[in-house]
């Protein structure tokens, strides 16, 4: 199978299991929507951003300079990431330590975004991501799921929303957790992350040529799930729970 980077990947175990990819910028709702779609399908779920965030967190723990690509590549190979289902809640262990909360911080997101621009880091994480492709199927969320990691996915969605709406969602998410935040600061962070993710040389954030773009500005979560499930149905995939 040739992907958009021109690499030739031989078929591996589980590679025939169907995949739905949900890519998009920060705060577009990829994680929320992917989890709900995976639940409806009765399929596995991959939060690919968590892998990049885990490397960012491990680099922080090891005092590794984000401007030292060689050390970051070594850190990527050395970092063990485990996903655990804790009564329906996904927990992420980094080198054996539960880092679920730390992974969701803006510091971890910004570190992940910087690290994700290093081609060798992306290469090192490729097979780890593809290993999630198991029967009965996989819903994968990220930036390059439809373009690079699973170019043969059965259904591809690109979720988007205005930067202002995404900043507003993040504001609410953090305020609900009791974190004191500033809306204009969040908007600046979102715009900076969009620019870094979309302008990097390798696997930039962009819709796959065969992706359906869903603009979620002004849409509620249930409405977005409905639209994504319509794309999934159009691809001939049937949810487990109707």
Ligand X SMILES: Nc1ccn([C@H]2C[C@H](O)[C@@H](COP(=O)(O)O)O2)c(=O)n1
Binding site as annotated, residues for ATP: 24-32
100 binds ligand ATP (CB under 6 A): no
Q: What x-and-dash track marks residues 209-228 binding ligand ATP by CB under 6 A?
A: -------x--xxx--x----
CA–CA separation, 1 vs 127, rounded Å? 14
- Among residues 18, 20, 26, 156, the one that binds ligand ATP under rule CB under 6 A: 26
Torsion over CA: 76, 79, 80, 81 (sign): negative
User: Would you tell me how many other CB atoms lie within 10 Å of the CB of residue 210?
Assistant: 11
Indicate left, alpha or beta for 34 from its phi (over 0: left) and psi (-120 to 50: alpha).
alpha
Which of the listed partners (ligand X, ligand ATP, none) does 144 bind, with a CB threshold of 5 to 8 Å by partner kind?
ligand X
213 strand-pairing partners: 158
- We find the least distance from the C-beta atom of residue 70 to ligand X, in angstroms, to be 19
Which of 62, 100, 173, 204 is in the footprint of ligand ATP by CB under 6 A?
173
Distance of CA 83 to the CA centre of its chain: 14
Least distance in Å: CB of 240 to ligand X? Answer: 25
Return the H-helix or E-strand segment holding 156: strand 155-160
27 binds ligand ATP (CB under 6 A): yes
Determine contact, residues 169/192, Cβ cutoff 8 Å.
no
Alpha-helical segments (H) within 15-146: 30-41, 48-61, 69-78, 100-103, 106-115, 119-130
* Residue 145 DSSP one-character state: I
Q: Which is nearer to ligand ATP, 30 or 133 (CB)?
A: 30
Binding residues: 24-32
Shortest approach of ligand ATP to residue 225 CB, angstroms?
9
Q: 18, 21, 23, 30: which one contacts ligand ATP (CB under 6 A)? A: 30
Chain contacts with ligand X (rule: CB under 6 A): 26, 48-49, 52-53, 109, 112-113, 116, 142-144, 193, 197
Q: Name the residue nearer to ligand X (CB basis): 169 or 193.
A: 193
Question: Which residue number is nearest to ligand ATP in terms of Cβ?
Answer: 29
- Sign of the C-alpha dihedral computed for residues 26, 193, 118 and 216 taken in this order: positive
Q: Footprint of ligand ATP on this chain (CB under 6 A)? A: 24, 26-32, 49, 109, 169, 173, 216, 219-221, 224
């Amino acid at each position: 199978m040739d992907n958009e980077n021109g690499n030739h990947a031989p078929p591996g175990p589980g590679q025939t299991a169907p995949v739905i990819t949900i890519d998009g910028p920060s705060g577009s709702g990829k994680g929320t929507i992917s989890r709900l779609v995976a639940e409806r399908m009765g399929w596995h779920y991959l939060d690919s951003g968590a892998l990049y965030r885990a490397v960012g967190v491990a680099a922080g723990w090891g005092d590794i300079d984000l401007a030292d690509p060689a050390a970051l590549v070594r850190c990527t190979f050395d970092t063990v990431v485990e996903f655990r289902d804790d009564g329906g809640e996904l927990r992420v262990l980094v080198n054996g330590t539960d880092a679920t909360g730390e992974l969701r911080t803006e510091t971890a997101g910004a570190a992940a975004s910087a690290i994700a621009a290093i081609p060798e880091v992306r290469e090192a994480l490729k097979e780890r991501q593809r290993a999630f492709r198991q029967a009965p199927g996989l819903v994968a969320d990220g930036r390059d799921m439809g373009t690079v990691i699973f170019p043969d996915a059965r259904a591809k969605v690109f979720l988007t929303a205005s930067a202002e709406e995404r900043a507003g969602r993040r504001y609410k998410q953090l305020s609900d957790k009791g974190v004191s935040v500033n809306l204009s600061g969040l908007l600046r962070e979102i715009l900076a992350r969009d620019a870094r993710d979309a302008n990097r040389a390798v696997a930039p954030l962009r819709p796959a040529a065969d992706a359906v773009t869903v603009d979620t500005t002004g849409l509620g979560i249930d409405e977005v799930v409905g639209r994504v499930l319509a794309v999934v149905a159009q691809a001939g995939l049937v949810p487990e729970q109707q």
